Amino acid sequence: MTLGGLALAVGILVDEATVCIENIHTHLLRGRSLARPTLGASSEHEPSH
């Protein structure tokens, strides 16, 4: 794997993690408990690949 490919993969990983954290934060602001948003946050968006 080239350095460019590795940098792209890390960028995608960080972007997906940021979206998950934002989804969890949004659910918490709506007053939901911690367990449900944490488990369901990754199913709310499509992978960007």
> Measured between alpha carbons, how far is 45 from 38 in angstroms, rounded to an integer?
13
> Measured between alpha carbons, how far is 49 from 37 in angstroms, rounded to an integer?
23
Element (H, E) at 26: helix 3-29
More confident residue, 34 or 49: 34
Whether residue 36 is contained in a domain is answered as: yes
Per-residue pLDDT at 40:
72
**Domain of 39, in residue numbers:** 16-44
> Measured between alpha carbons, how far is 45 from 22 in angstroms, rounded to an integer?
11
Whether residue 25 is contained in a domain is answered as: yes
The number of domains in the chain is 1
Per-residue pLDDT at 32:
81
State the DSSP code for 7.
H
Whether residue 22 is contained in a domain is answered as: yes
pTM of the model: 0.68
Q: How far does Cα 43 stand from its chain's mean position?
A: 9
Whether residue 11 is contained in a domain is answered as: no
Mean pLDDT, range 37-49, rounded to an integer? 68
Per-residue pLDDT at 6:
94
User: What is the tens place of the pLDDT at every residue in 5-42?
Assistant: 999 999 999 998 898 899 888 888 888 888 877 777 76
